[in-house]
Structure formats: C-alpha cells, structure tokens
Amino acid sequence: MTKYCEVALPVPLDRTFTYEVPSHQEVFRGARVIAPFRTEKLIGVVTAVGGDAPTEFEARPLEAVIDAEPLLDEQLIGLAEWIAQYYIAPLGEVLRGMLPLMAEVKRTAYYRITDAGRDQLASLHDGEGSATRRTRTKGPAAEIERKVLERLAEGEPVKVSTLRTATAASLPALASMLRRKWIARETSAVERDARRTERFAVLVPETRLPKLTENQQAILAELASCGGEMPLAALRKKELPSSTLQTLVRRGLVRIDERQAAFHLSGVEARPSPLRLNEAQLDALAQIAASLGRFEALLLHGVTGSGKTAVYLAALKKALERGMGAILLVPEIGLTPQTASLLHAEFGEKVALLHSALTPEERSEQWRRIYAGEAPIVVGTRSAIFAPVRNLGLVLVDEEHDQSYKQEETPRYHARDVAVMRAKLTGAAVVLGSATPSLETWHNAAKGKYKLLSLANRVQSRPLPEVELIDMRREFQETGAEQLFSRSLIQQTQAALDRGEQAIILLNRRGYSFVVMCRACGEKLECQNCAIALTHHKPSLGEDGLAYAGQRLECHYCGYRRTVPEKCPKCASEHLYYLGAGSQQGEERLSEIFPMARIGRMDRDTVRGRHDLERLLARLHSGEINLLVGTQMIAKGHDIHGVTLVGVVGCDHALAMPDFRAAERVFQLMTQVSGRAGRGELPGRVVVQTYYPDHYAVLAASEHDYAGFVERELKYRRWMHYPPFGVLANVLVQSEKLEEAASWSAQLGKWFQSQAPEGVRVLGPCTAPIARIKAVYRFHLILKATSRKALNGALREMLAHADSVEIPRRNLILDVDAQRLM
C-alpha cells in the first residue's frame, strides 16, 4: 500500500506539501527528507505521516530519507508550530532554522539549456542575432552567452562551477540568461559525512633507520621532539618538502593517521573558582532552584557588577545535580568565548557551544553532541534556544533586553519570547537577566506574570561608577572648535593611564567618517544599491580634512565599495569633505593624544571571527591593552577588573532616530557601558559627552535610576499605545522595481482603509526610513493593535488579500513585535 507524508519545505509559502514515501523506506514525524520541488531538491522536515492520496494532483515520491529517527521531538515541533503561528512565518523556514545541519547534505546547482535557448543558439549560428531588441547583447557579453549555450547544447546539465570555468561566465551573466529563459537552473542534494578530521604524521616505532637525507632527518627529528606525532598542518609550517614526507611513508618510517579534529570551546582562559554568593545572590538562587522541574518565568534584575553570572553558574549546577539539562543564551557572539570558558572551567566536557561563527561542520558536531546527551549544558546566541537538550529544566537569557535576540530574517522570532514559550512547553524554569530589562519584560513582572528577583548592589558592596555629563554645546562655545573628545575626557583618561589603570571609550560608529559630502552643493556620496551614505574607511587623512581621491568608501548594508572620486558627481566641485567620526578615527585621534598608550579597537572591522575576538579579549585581560575604543560590542557583559574609566562619545545620536524605542536604547547602552567601570578593587568613573544633557534618558542613566526612567517612559508608551500597552507589527513591501513596491503598498493601504479591522490602527503606507537596501525598494505599514488576536487576524487577512491580487508572498515581510522600524 502506498504511503504519503506531509513535508515542510524552506520556501516562502504558508503550507506543507504531500509526497509519496518510497515503499522500501520508513519516515518519521520530525525527521529530514530530500524532496523534489519544481526543478530543485530541497531538504524538508516531515510534519505528518499517513493520510489519503491527494485527489487534485499526483504526489511525487521523496528523493531520499536522511534520518532513520526523528531529530525533533514533539515539544520542538510544537515550538516550531507556535513560532509559525505567532510570527506568521512559513513552517518550513522555521524548521530549517532549528536544524543547523546543512554540513550533512551536499547541494549542487546545475544549468541546462531550454528550448528558447536552443532557438537563440540557432539564430546566432545563422547570423541573425536575437529575435528582439530586448534580448540582443553586444560585445564580449554576447560571446560569453554563445559559449554558455554551446556548452549546454550537448544536453546534459552542467555544474555551475564547471560551466563558469569553461566559459568565463559571471554569476550576473548566468542570472541574466536565466531571466530570459534561455537556461534553467536545477539543484541536487545528497548526504555527506560532516565529521571533522585531522591528519597526523606518526613515527613508526622499532624500525631500523636506513640512510636518510637531510630533510628526512629533519622531519623525523621534528616528530621525535613532539612525542612521536604531529598534525600535518603544523608540520607543513616547518617548510619541509611534502614529497620528503611521502618518501618516509613509503619506506615505512612514518604513517599517516586520520583522527577526529579537536574542538576548543574558547581561547579565553578561565580558572574554576569556588562560588561565594552574598545574601541577595543566595536568595535569588534559592528561588530559581525552587522553580526547577516546573514552568515559571523569573526576571533577575541586578545592577551591573551585581554578580548575575555567578547566580547563573550556581543555578546550572543545581540543574545538573537534579539530572536536568540547561540552555544559556547570550546576545552576542562576542560574549560566548568568555562565557563558554567559565562554563568549561566549571563543567568540563558537559558544555556545548552553538552560534553562527562556527563552521557548518563545527555546528553539526556540537548539535550531535547535544542530541546524544553528551553535553547537557548549551551556551550560545539566539539559535541555541532550539538545541535538542535532553530533560530540559532551566533556560537562562542573559542581557534579555538586547535587540540582538530579534532575528532580522525570516522567521523573525525573538529568542527571549521563544525561550519563555519553550520553557512553558517543556515544564522548565526560565530566568531573564538584565541590569536594564526591556519595558515589556518589566511590565510583565509588574503585573505578576514573571517573578521579580533583585540584586540591588554590586558584589562586595563596590560602589556604582560616578557619572559626569559633558555638555558638548558648551564645550564648543568655550573652545571655539568641534572636538571629538572633550577636555575633561582627555584629562581623566591620561590620569587613569598614569595610574596604571585601563580605560574604555565607546564610539558607536564603525569606520573613519560616516559621511562624505560636497561642500559646494551638499550632495552626499551614497551607495549605488542602498539609500544610505557610504562610510569612509581609510589608512590616513590629510591635516586639512579634505577627502582625497582613491580612498575607500563602503556600504555597511550591502558591502558595496568604491573609491572617493576626484570631483563631486553632481556639481563637479573638488570640495569633498569627511563629516562625522567612527571608531577608526577615534583610534587614530587617541594614538595622537596618548602616544604611550597601548590602544586596541573592538568593532566589526577588527573582529571578523571568534578567534579575533578571543585574541583581543586575552590582550585586554592581560593588561597588554590599556586603552580600548570600540562600538557597542565593548558595552556587553565584559568583566575586566582593571577598567576604572569609561568614556561615552556620540551615544545620544540615536535619540534623533524615528523609533519609539530610541530613549530606551540610549538609556540601556549608557547604563551597560558605564557598568564596565569599577568592577575590580578600584572605584570607577564614567564621562558621558552629550548634546542632550537634559533628556530624561541621559539624566536617568547618569544617576543609575532605572525605576525613574521606566516610570517616565511607560507614561509615554501608555499615551501612544505602544508596547507594552499594545502590540505592533511592521509590514515591509519590497521589490526591485520602485513602481511595483509603491503600487503594492498602496493596494494594501487601500484594503486596510476599506476593511478597517476592529482594534487595529494602520499607519501608512509610506516609504521606509531607509528607502532602498541591496537594490530593493522598500515601503512599509505599521500596525498597532490592542490585542494579539486582533493583530494576528488582520495580518492573515491581509496575506489572503495580497494572494488574491497576486502580490507575491516573497515580497512581503511581516515583522511581528518589530524591534527596528528602519
């Protein structure tokens, strides 16, 4: 009897697909399969087994069954279904994000010629060219297209890499031919072994040594000095010929072993130390321990330096003692090395690491360790909430307020809220920790939905840092010049360095300058793909501040790069100037002011991988760096006891952004970076440069007054019906064609006007604040509702209407509980 199954595929469609199960194979709900979809082979997850044969179409058979058992249990599938329902996201895309096992399947793309392509090739051979002006190509591009068609005319599909090598065709050229339907794209997917291995050269013992060359003796000496074996990668660095090693292998003096590659959780060293908790920490731990084994949500609100991490470690020990697994979420990859090193020092090989900076093979390896029960403790960024931890009893979300927990790609889930739901589904305790909780979380605690735990003081009764506000408007009046660093900040930094202490300066912009502008006509140099000014990155700058031709400009949204032109592209003026300062300029200015300082920089340009970050943190902890400048990466959770001074430069520019959360973000960033000062034996001090010294967010942060800020901000939110006193979604309408995006958004706007969903207010449509990103035009509508049910219903009705008027689903982005409105 023929069996059928429902499969969720990673495509932008809110449905599952029916496939025939091969008679010789068995499938399970929660297992992966390879399924044919149009001309591609996609990896999907089985959501249901059985059912009747479809009557409207003939079900295609599955290509392959990857797993002989379910990889996702009923609780994780239930969580995926909740995410798909809550965030109105395709179930297949949710499930793809839950399984970081892409390394276990090899996907290959092919091209084949179509009938239209054969007609085009025939016309080229006849000397007629293309049938229409639209498809006519001239010059070298036409010759490349001819080569592609001739290579494919043999009939068999050709791999993309092979085709490009044979014809010198670029990816845009192939995409152009694909749009004209001369060629078609197909994909295949097959299983592969994702285990990471490392090859070792091993001395063969008890062998008589024949006469050896000098290089052969050198290799044997190297192996003998390393205990008789050495990784091949390390041996190659000795610059000894590989042919010499092969000769030794043939002569039986050395053998090559292949072993599983080692994985290091962190390059940051941490030593296990006995946990000595104070009374407040012990009280918080007792309440967390009492919640283990049942669902309860707790908010751990502790000032910076109050010892929340120590409470996390103690709670993890309690969970392990009771045979439970646990997940610890951190907002940034930057925090995982030091957190992982602390956990590894305490729990050894029971810890696994999951985040996007790992290679696909490393992620697969770590996931398999968790699935096998070898690692009951998992630390990672937002996707780690989907780890298949056995007998999950505790979920910890550190810095729960951080907007990094919100995924900015489909599915656009918030890991904090998903953590609460996973804990509810599994009957686990969930602890949300922060010195500056989000207003939504604080409101839930105030209503009694979450239990509030407080750590009101720093450990060992250390004082919170004293904060000094520098009014940069007055600074300009008194000095007569626009300065990046105020006189007070320079003096106090010099004093800290003279005392042998460390200082941190936050300059929350990447690059050197964030605008290059023509002083004659006011034109900004913008990205060709995005409606955003290009950021200047440069090795040096002239004393006159002029932007010289040939220096690099970069877009931080799409990666587009160009050099500074000799003249303004609009008015041909030569007066191009840099405006604004980023962390690169901050580093340069600090090196001029403090020539004896050991300066480091932490931003996305200096930290491109986890090993870069580990090296930088190691230098900071050892004291090799005594002055660190960087973006908000430096504000999050770092515990460096030698830092006594923190400078905050340009943090308040976000107050001018069109975002109702702007004040909350400025307060959080100021409070978090201030908390890096005075975490050791010496007291700390913070110098904040601001153009808004009277703003309530700046004043509250300078006084460490979270309660005062919340009271003021909640009044504003209540008046405007913004979260937490309402729910919100951002609907993005996008297209590569401006007229399409404008037309579709106008259609949706008129539909909302005619339907007037009860309990829902619609703002827009209008152009998004950043009108174009990656050559895609963007319009948006903001939906505010009094209830989750009303918002969800309105969005689903809108999708149904969009489908009826043929607005493609892939051109609509629904961001429920949006954190960014740009």
Residue 675: both structure tokens together: 């908390």
Highest-scoring range by mean pLDDT, 361-365, 505-509, 616-620 = 505-509
Which amino acid would we find at residue 716? Y
What DSSP string describes 775-804? Answer: TEEEEEEEEEESSHHHHHHHHHHHHHHHHH
* Nearest C-alpha neighbor of 103 from the set 353, 359, 355, 380: 359
Chain centroid offset of residue 313 CA: 25
Burial (Cβ within 10 Å: 0-12, 13-18, ≥19) of residue 68 = exposed
pLDDT above 70 (res 78):
yes
What DSSP string describes 134-152? Answer: GG---THHHHHHHHHHHHH
pLDDT at residue number 142: 85
Percent of the chain with pLDDT over 90: 56
Band of pLDDT at residue 123, cut at 50, 70 and 90: confident
pLDDT at residue number 266: 52
pLDDT at residue number 614: 78
Pairing label, strands 552-554, 535-537: antiparallel
Neighbours of 338 (CB within 10 A): 24
Neighbours of 120 (CB within 10 A): 24
pLDDT at residue number 544: 45
pTM confidence score: 0.86
DSSP H/E element including 477: helix 472-479
Alpha helices in 675-771 (DSSP H): 696-702, 706-720, 738-755
Unique residue bearing structure tokens 């051979």: 125
Mean pLDDT of 647-673: 91
Q: Tell which wins on pLDDT, 360 or 554.
A: 554
pLDDT at residue number 286: 96
Unique residue bearing structure tokens 């050197």: 512
Mean pLDDT of 283-290: 96
* Nearest C-alpha neighbor of 418 from the set 389, 397, 447: 397
Mean pLDDT of 425-429: 96
Residue 95: DSSP 8-state = H
Neighbours of 589 (CB within 10 A): 17
DSSP H/E element including 540: none
Mean pLDDT of 44-50: 93
- How much is the mean pLDDT over the chain? 89
Mean pLDDT of 257-273: 63
pLDDT at residue number 130: 44
Supply φ then ψ for residue 619, to 5 degrees: -65, -35
Band of pLDDT at residue 272, cut at 50, 70 and 90: low
Band of pLDDT at residue 574, cut at 50, 70 and 90: confident
